[in-house]
Structure 1
Amino acid sequence: MSWSSIRRVVARLSFVLIALSLWHGSALAAVTVSFHSFNGSVMFGRYPHTFVVFDGKLDDTRQSIHENFGFSAKSVGPSILAGPVEHMIYIEKEKYIRSTNAHFSIVVSDATYRRMKQEVAAWRDAPGKFYDLDTRNCIHFVGRIAELGGLKVAYPKEMLRKPKAWLNYIGTLNPQLGAKPIA
């Protein structure tokens, strides 16, 4: 084998190794969005709820992501039944996330993650009374995040106050998720 042949082989091998390392590095970077529900209990002061968890690493900056967001009324009382009330983005404590129902997950691009975060900010920063039990509750918020992730979403009236049943339903609308209904 000549010296120039050896250089060509080494160059090709180097190219393959570089390509593999780039492919491997980008395969490790991804943000996973998981869709959760909390069963809740009126008797124990915590109502049924749904929220999203973002976990992973951005491809472009390698920034680690671990955060969660849900949409809720700032306070719960009889006024919540009468129409819009003040709202907030609710962050679950880490120890409670483990006891919720994880229904399904999707992997999103950096751009989609950033668009989802813009949506979280838009719901958080909406002026006035933005939470409405029937038209803008935690289900609608999580549904919007799901739509941004490319999922099919619908809001059957009979499920608007049943986050676990609703996420089970969304799983059936998106069979590609392979989601198993949670009893």
Structure 2
Amino acid sequence: MGRLLQLALALTAFFWAAAASAEVRVTFHSFDGSVLFGRYPHAFVSMEGELADGTPIKENYGFSAKSASPAVLAGPVEHIVMVEKDKWIDRTNRHFTVVIDDAKYWAIRKEVARWRDAPGKYYDLATRNCIHFVGAIAQIVGVRVTYPEDMLRRPKKWLNHITGRNPQLRAPQID
């Protein structure tokens, strides 16, 4: 019986250690963009790591207008939740990374679905753009967020602002 108990304790310790080492890292990105090259400035998040049950995570999400047109300037338009290709992720500004647990991971996934599945024309350059989407995710992970009006179309400047408001992130400003 003593050996069986030792084995049970060893297995329990192993599984607790594995669960404790599981983590998902959420990175907050900005993309400088260029109208000439077909990509506007943009903010999005990526998530990489492993859930406590061992499920590997490698995802990213951004929020955008479904199509770029002058209609974006006039008010709400159709929206999409974008998934970036690796080639775009490699060209981004990585502002800061936050380590989260499974509960926050699932809360982020729920928020992504809420934005993705919103009925009608949900993208609005002034009130629901990529910055607001990333801000909603930042709040889930405990980052303080504000939306200064002069930054609502400037993702890099806005994420630098958020970095400055959250010294616990220990993240540098990006030029």
How far apart, CA to CA, are the structure 1 residues paired with 2:43 and 2:30? Answer: 4
Aligned with 2:139 (options 140, 144, 147)? 147
Instruction: Report the equivalent of 1:33.
Output: 26
How far apart, CA to CA, are the structure 2 residues paired with 1:24 and 1:181? Answer: 35
Instruction: Report the equivalent of 2:87.
Output: 95
* Bigger Rg, which one: 1
- Structure 1: gaps (5+ residues): 1-9
| Superposed counterparts of 1:75-90, under 5 Å | 75-90=67-82
How far apart, CA to CA, are the structure 1 residues paired with 2:15 and 2:171? Answer: 31
Cα offset, 1:99, TM superposition:
1.2
Q: Which moved more, 1:31-40 or 1:90-99?
A: 90-99
Moved segments of 4+, more than 6 Å:
13-16
How far apart, CA to CA, are the structure 2 residues paired with 1:50 and 1:141? Answer: 9
The DSSP-based 3-state class of the residue aligned with 2:97 is strand
How far apart, CA to CA, are the structure 2 residues paired with 1:125 and 1:64? Answer: 25
Instruction: Report the equivalent of 1:65.
Output: 57
Aligned with 2:38 (options 27, 42, 45)? 45
TM-score, structure 1 as length reference: 0.88
TM-score, structure 2 as length reference: 0.92
Cα offset, 1:133, TM superposition:
0.4
Cα offset, 1:16, TM superposition:
8.3
Instruction: Report the equivalent of 1:74.
Output: 66
Cα offset, 1:19, TM superposition:
6.7
How far apart, CA to CA, are the structure 2 residues paired with 1:16 and 1:113? Answer: 29
Identity of aligned residues (%): 55
Residue 120 in 1 paired to residue 112 in 2?
A: yes
The DSSP-based 3-state class of the residue aligned with 2:57 is strand
Q: Kindly provide the amino acid, as one letter, of the partner of residue 47 in structure 1.
A: Y
**Number of positions where the alignment pairs a residue of Structure 1 with one of Structure 2:** 174
How far apart, CA to CA, are the structure 2 residues paired with 1:158 and 1:20? Answer: 52
How far apart, CA to CA, are the structure 2 residues paired with 1:103 and 1:117? Answer: 21
Give per-residue Cα distances to partners, 1:26-77, cap 9 Å, x unaligned.
2321111100000001121110000000111111x21100000000000111
Cα offset, 1:114, TM superposition:
0.3
